[in-house]
Amino acid sequence: MSKRQRHAQILAVIRENRVASQETLRELLHQRGTEVTQATLSRDIRELRLVKVPDADGTGHYSLPEE
Amino acid sequence: MSKRQRHAQILAVIRENRVASQETLRELLHQRGTEVTQATLSRDIRELRLVKVPDADGTGHYSLPEE
DNA sequence: CTTGAATAACAATTCAAT
DNA sequence: ATTGAATTGTTATTCAAG
């Protein structure tokens, strides 16, 4: 699986779920058959420019910056 | 100095500077005469819904979510 | 150039106090 | 309700490797 494919998967996952941590993201990707470590997700998130938006209750979630 | 005032200061600071960490933010506020700890800034950032936007070079910066 | 394991750096929470 | 010190949790980086 290529990095570009993984990036696409990540975008799909954060659109469909409230992802509160990179560890959660890792689990969701695993369910879709993609195994990566947190270090890689940290890099992917930077490359995709994803931001973690703080929620009222403290539980932030990853999101695309609406530009 | 009230929390609302500090919040206003924080917004001013992040508009005028590339703030890459809460520790940096703390220093900039200190220059403006406001002393707080990282714990308080973490809470303020949540309350203000500030996000840390990843930059290309790795050095993220705090920003208002563009709605 | 891409990744994982280990570590460092950074941010959020707890707990006590005010 | 608000805060700081200490702690815990999370994310970014380093370092070695493929």
Q: What tens digit of pLDDT does each residue of A2-54 get? A: 999 999 999 999 999 999 999 999 999 999 999 999 999 999 999 999 999 99
Least CA distance to A57: which residue of chain B?
Answer: B46
Cα nearest neighbour of A66 on chain B: B66
For tokens 């819904």, the residue is B49
User: Would you say residue B56 has pLDDT above 90?
Assistant: no
- Per-residue pLDDT of B8-44, as tens digits, reads 999 999 999 999 999 999 999 999 999 999 999 999 9
Residue nearest to nucleotide D12 (CA to C1'): A42
A46 touches strand C (CB under 7 A): no
Cβ neighbours of residue B52 under 8 Å, at least 6 residues apart? Answer: A51, A52, B60, B61, B62, B63
Q: Which of B45, B49, B54 is opposite residue A49, by nearest beta carbon? A: B54
Whether the per-residue pLDDT at A62 is higher than 80: the answer is yes
Predicted structure pTM score = 0.93
